[in-house]
Chains A and B, each alone.
Chain A
Amino acid sequence: MVRTVGSGLGVGILGDESFVARVIKLIESESHTSGLTDRVRSIVTQYRARKASSKS
Chain B
Amino acid sequence: MPLYVSDKQIVLPGGDAVATRDYNVSGSIYWDGDVAYSAVVGLINIRGGERDVEVIPLSGIYKPRVGGDIVIGYVVDIGLTGWVIDIKSPYSAYLPVQEATLKPIDLTAVDLKNLLGIGDIVLARIIDFNLTKDYPVTLTLKETRLGRIEGGTLVEIDASKVARVIGRRGSMVSIFSEELNCDVTVGQNGRVWIRCRDPGG
Contact A28 B201 (CB under 8 A): no
Contact B179 A14 (CB under 8 A): no
Contact A33 B164 (CB under 8 A): yes
A1-24 residues with Cβ-Cβ distance < 8 A to B are 1-6, 13-21, 23-24
- A53 interface residue per 8 A CB criterion: no
Contact B195 A17 (CB under 8 A): yes
Measured CA separation A40–B165 after assembly (Å): 10
Chain A interface size range: 20 to 34
Measured CA separation A4–B175 after assembly (Å): 21
B112-171 residues with Cβ-Cβ distance < 8 A to A are 121, 149-158, 161, 164-165, 167-168, 171
Contact A15 B153 (CB under 8 A): no
Measured CA separation A24–B167 after assembly (Å): 11
Chain B interface size range: 20 to 34
Contact A24 B155 (CB under 8 A): yes
CB-contact partner of A5 in B151, B171, B175, B200, under 8 A:
B151
Contact A48 B179 (CB under 8 A): yes
Chain A residues within an 8 Å CB radius of B156:
1-2
CB-contact partner of B157 in A5, A25, A47, under 8 A:
A25
Task: Report the nearest B residue to A22, measured CB to CB.
Answer: B155
Task: Report the nearest A residue to B148, measured CB to CB.
Answer: A5
Contact A16 B199 (CB under 8 A): yes
Measured CA separation A20–B196 after assembly (Å): 9
Additional A-B contact list (15), CB under 8 Å, known A5-B153, A19-B180, A27-B164: A2-B155, A5-B149, A5-B193, A14-B199, A14-B200, A17-B182, A17-B196, A20-B194, A25-B155, A33-B164, A36-B172, A37-B171, A44-B175, A47-B180, A48-B179
